[in-house]
Structure 1
């Protein structure tokens, strides 16, 4: 059996597992945050607030926002989107260090 075929198969399997993990993460994000919001809305009469009070409360937004940031980083890793450290950035850094090493080696000639 061809080893390249095995490598491609393993790589594809790893990608599918990463996608599955992301979709599970996304599902849990919406289910748990929605459940927390419903619990806050149901508990509103107990605290004497109006209906919109818990929706606009910071703790409601904080959970969605902070977890959402983590979810965004997870998505960027799974889907290969990285605006800061993309392939072009990597090439520039490699060239920079190669040029630096070349200059240092020329010093000692």
Structure 2
């Protein structure tokens, strides 16, 4: 009976992780959509009322850097930064601790 409960908990945990991942991806695409819409409006305003100075570029770059960082975190582009890396490191340290404890027993 306990084994069945453990399997169900594991499936539930996997479901929760997958659901969280989908929410993160959805959040990124919402961020991307708002970025595109706001940039279109700002570019229009800038070119319409003060075309001699292209100030929209600063907003484009600043927010674009934030969007890039968001993409890196959501899509695990650099695996050493992501959550998977953290979980692997935690498991690695826990395994090292177990083996150290067994060595001294």
Q: TM bucket by the smaller chain?
A: 0.5 to 0.7
Could you list the runs of 5+ residues in structure 2 that have no partner in the other structure? 101-105
- Matched residues in 1 for 2:21 and 2:69: separation? 16
> Pairwise mapping of residues 50-69 of structure 1 onto structure 2 (< 5 A)?
53-54=52-53, 57=54, 59-69=55-65
**Contact 2:28–2:71, Cα closer than 8 Å, also in 1:** yes
- Give the structure-1-normalised TM-score: 0.64
The equivalent residue for 1:70 is: 66
For residue 45 of structure 2, the aligned residue among 16, 25, 39 is 39
For residue 81 of structure 1, the aligned residue among 77, 80, 84 is 77
What count of residue pairs does the alignment treat as equivalent? 83
Could you list the runs of 5+ residues in structure 1 that have no partner in the other structure? 103-109
Structure in which a larger fraction of residues adopt helix: 2
**Contact 2:73–2:81, Cα closer than 8 Å, also in 1:** no
Compare CA radii of gyration and give the structure with the larger one: 1
